[in-house]
Amino acid sequence: MNPQQVKDHRNKERGKAEEKLDEYLLICRKLKVSCEKLIIEKEDIAKGLEDIIALHGITMLVMGAAADKHYSKKMNTPKSKTALRLMEAADSSCKIWFTCKGHLICTREANTTIPAIPPSPAYTIESSLSTSSISSHMRSMTMHPVESEASSSSGSPRHHLNRSRTEVTRYPSQGAGTTPSQLLQPSDQNVNAQLARTTIGSVDSWDEFGRTSQNYWYDSSRNGEAVSISGSATRQLTYEPDDDHFASRELENPGGDADIYGRLEEALHEAQYSKKEAFEESTKRRHAEINMLSALQKVKEVENLYNHEIRQRKIIEETLARQIQENEEMNRQYNTIYDKLHDAEEQKLVVERRIAEMEAALKEHEEELVESKYLLQVLQADKEKLQQERDSAVNEAEDLCRKNKQRISIPDEELNSGFSSFELEQATRGFDQELKIGEGGFGSVYRGTLRNTTVAIKLLHPHSLQGQSEFDQEIAVLSRVRHPNLVTLIGACREACGLVYEFLPNGSLEDRLACLNNTPPLTWQVRTRIIYEMCSALTFLHSNKPHPIVHGDLKPANILLDTNFVSKLGDFGICRFLIQSSTATTNLYRTTTPKGTFAYMDPEFLTTGELTPRSDVYSLGIIILRLLTGKPPQNIAEVVEDAIDREELHSILDPSAGSWPFVQANQLAHLGLHCAEMSRRRRPDLAGGVWKVVEPLMKAASLTAVQPSFATPSDDATPPSYFVCPIFQEEMNDPHVAADGFTYEAEAIRGWLDSGHDTSPMTNLPLEHRELIPNRALRSAIIEWQQQRQWR
């Protein structure tokens, strides 16, 4: 890594450590404990702690037993590798508390103790300084008399410090040879004087910093046993801290044993002075260690800088050697270029001689150029003549082509049924307005009776060239093709420019969608069948031989319905025969004046003038969306697409059509959007993509259409939910179980699978297989329920 990055990383880590240590410093200061912070860097944490304990003579250490997230109430031994290593390898004089998540897990006791101050011959005083007092100042303590004093002689209040009471009691007289060890043992003799224990100092509770639970002065050499002090008289001493000095005074019997108190006071002063010197020495030692560690760190940094400089020097030396080699290479290239320049100068002389020769030749070519210009003018005149002859030939070819198209548009044989103008007038009662059933830009449509047959008579405008062309086109198409879903042309009258069709009593699909004359709305089953029938009729027209036929004006107004609501496509006035050339791979018709209804017209036909079978596919897509939603055709594709994106398709379905099965409605919506794509290359093929979706939907709709339905079924007639097909939302007759575990009507799930789906209609997850298992138990239950309903 970059040395600067290493330095920045170390500074960042040191800042984090100092921030954490500052929190402990703040706690210690609040508790009036003197302390210092020391940051030491080590590669091995356990080895570093072990060295620090030995180097500083640490006698008390608190460390974590494991990470907090590994804490458990049953844990009684350290878990981390560092804690386990220190438990075994740390200096034996150090007492270690292992904690985790604020709980003391276990303690490793020290094997050695701090030496105690030797007692005097006459008195034995035991003192024990807790290891925590090595790093902090001695707490304030006062030796009180038995009766409390409120204030000093000067009247100023005493400091609010923790004080301990010391009572000095004289032991019974003992011999001169009594040893200090004998004084520490319990006495079996009767004691006539009052007994008291001398308690000076404090033992801090580890969990509560700075809080004194009991005040005693222990002797570390004697494991903390209290010591009695004998004297000639009972005296009490008061211990008050003043700049870390002790003061003693006689409270009672001022003429007592002064020598004993003087020696005691000197011992206390010596102990305090020794402690202060030890603390100062320890502080100096810590500062020296910190300076040493800082110096070692600086040495490491200098070594890193030195190594970095050595690496930089090597890089510079390598760069210098490479530059020397490049300079030598440039010198060789310079010599080579100099030689080439000398050769170029010689070649220049040769080129100058050649230029002189070429100038002479140029003069000769200029003379030839003048002659060439004259010849070019002659050739230009010939070209214009040939262009005129070509234009004449193209015009003749276009005339021949137009004549050929007209010849194709004329039927091979005239209609067998021809009617006179008088017959048409008689059939319509002189074209009575009451019998008029339609009117448009092409002309008018009348209902009439002709030769005992109810017919529809369309009269085109005889003086309009458009009306005459539509008349011929209609005869040309309908006299050649026959299909159950195409309007049947019975005959024609050229004299009146009239066409006679079969009469379809239910009018156009546009009128039924608008519920004209309060007619009932079409059910979703009828609408699905109309889509199926229009797909069948268009597929038949597009596959016509030898020339495919494009309707060009597919819309609900040109779809008529018979008595049984069977749809039939009519109005072939602007349809076109497609001629496939020897080089073209797609059948199309090109025009500069597109005709049709704007909302249903192919956008590419409007922009390019090219009419193809997929132009009818676009119109069919708009009709599918209209039948599904009942909305007007303008921007209907955007409305349906937005609803699908928001997963709210049910909100735009036409409610007058009944309860659309959601699966069928979803399939028809996607099919309509696919057919109504702006780019014709993205639209599906009728015989392939559209038919595979429409045919299963038609079969499913036919099944539900023949089943009996009740407008207001009673509660008893309502089938249980598990009798209803999830796709048709109708009572099942032939239930089958699919791979997703759900039960469907056999025709419904087969139609779903045959339309190209490989996912479950209920979960939308991939199906493991396409096999269907008859649910005979459910079928028996349905039959039994139906029989019981009939008996009721």
Report the distance separating Cα 258 and Cα 267, nearest Å: 14
Local confidence band at 548 (pLDDT 50, 70, 90 cut-offs):
confident
Local confidence band at 489 (pLDDT 50, 70, 90 cut-offs):
confident
Report the distance separating Cα 790 and Cα 792, nearest Å: 5
Q: Is the pLDDT of residue 486 over 50?
A: yes
Bridging pattern class, strands 559-561 and 567-569: antiparallel
pLDDT in tens, 688-720: 889 988 988 888 877 765 443 333 334 456 778
Q: Provide the 10 A C-beta neighbour count for residue 594.
A: 18
Report the distance separating Cα 437 and Cα 458, nearest Å: 10
pLDDT of res. 384:
86
User: DSSP character for 389?
Assistant: H
Report the distance separating Cα 53 and Cα 91, nearest Å: 7
**φ, ψ dihedrals at 704, nearest 5°:** -75, -25
As given in the structure block, the two tokens for residue 279 are 């603390």
Apex 137 CA angle, 131 and 141, nearest 5: 100
User: DSSP character for 249?
Assistant: -
Bridging pattern class, strands 95-100 and 60-64: parallel
Looking at per-residue confidence, does 404 or 516 come out higher? 516
Q: Is 724 exposed, middle or buried (0-12, 13-18, 19+ CB in 10 A)?
A: middle
Q: Is the pLDDT of residue 523 over 50?
A: yes
User: From its phi and psi, is residue 571 left (phi > 0), alpha (psi between -120 and 50) or beta?
Assistant: left
Report the distance separating Cα 105 and Cα 66, nearest Å: 10
pLDDT of res. 478:
81
Average pLDDT of 2-30?
Answer: 90
Query: CB neighbours of 726 closer than 8 A, spacing ≥ 6?
Result: 663, 742, 744, 761, 762
Least confident of 2-16, 65-79, 206-220: 206-220
Least confident of 161-165, 255-259, 517-521: 161-165
Q: Is the pLDDT of residue 231 over 50?
A: no
- 411-425 CB burial, b ≥16 within 10 A, e <16: eeeebeeebeeebbb
Report the distance separating Cα 181 and Cα 288, nearest Å: 41
Looking at per-residue confidence, does 287 or 195 come out higher? 287
Domain spans in the chain, listed from the N-terminal domain onward: 31-108, 114-146+161-256, 296-408, 410-502, 504-578+587-705, 721-791
Looking at per-residue confidence, does 424 or 596 come out higher? 424
Per the omega criterion (within 30 degrees of 0), is the bond before 180 cis? no
| Known binding-site positions for ATP | 458
Per the omega criterion (within 30 degrees of 0), is the bond before 546 cis? yes
pLDDT of res. 148:
34
Is CATH 3.30.200.20 correct for 410-502? yes
**Whole-number percent of the chain with pLDDT over 90:** 21
| Known binding-site positions | 458
Report the distance separating Cα 184 and Cα 125, nearest Å: 10
Least confident of 213-222, 466-475, 542-551: 213-222
Query: CB neighbours of 557 closer than 8 A, spacing ≥ 6?
Result: 508, 509, 510, 597
Apex 196 CA angle, 194 and 197, nearest 5: 165
pLDDT in tens, 84-139: 998 888 888 899 999 998 889 999 998 855 443 333 333 322 333 333 333 333 33
- What is the architecture of the domain spanning 504-578+587-705? Orthogonal Bundle (1.10)
pLDDT in tens, 168-219: 333 333 333 333 333 333 333 333 332 223 222 333 333 333 333 333 333 3
Local confidence band at 463 (pLDDT 50, 70, 90 cut-offs):
low
Catalytic residue flag (residue 553): yes
Report the distance separating Cα 540 and Cα 568, nearest Å: 13
As given in the structure block, the two tokens for residue 578 are 């497609």
Pick the CATH number of 721-791 from 3.30.40.10, 3.30.200.20, 3.30.365.10, 3.40.1350.10: 3.30.40.10
pLDDT in tens, 36-52: 888 888 888 888 898 88
Task: Give how far the C-alpha of residue 780 lies from the chain's centroid of Cα atoms, to the nearest Å.
Answer: 49
Amino acid at 519: T
Report the distance separating Cα 785 and Cα 780, nearest Å: 9
pLDDT in tens, 376-420: 888 888 888 888 888 887 887 777 666 555 544 444 444 446 788
Please check whether residue 638 is in contact with residue 591, taking contact to mean a CB–CB distance below 8 angstroms.
no
Classify 62 as helix, strand or coil. Answer: strand
pLDDT of res. 643:
93
Q: Which one of the listed residues 91, 511, 553, 654 is annotated catalytic?
A: 553
pLDDT of res. 112:
57
The neighbouring-strand residues paired with 235 are 168
The neighbouring-strand residues paired with 454 are 449
> What one-character-per-residue DSSP string does 251-315 give?
SS-TTS-HHHHHHHHHHHHHHHHHHHHHHHHHHHHHHHHHHHHHHHHHHHHHHHHHHHHHHHHHH
Bridging pattern class, strands 164-165 and 143-144: parallel
pLDDT in tens, 648-660: 998 999 999 988 8
Q: Is the pLDDT of residue 496 over 60?
A: yes
Scanning the structure block, which residue is given the tokens 């530059």?
323
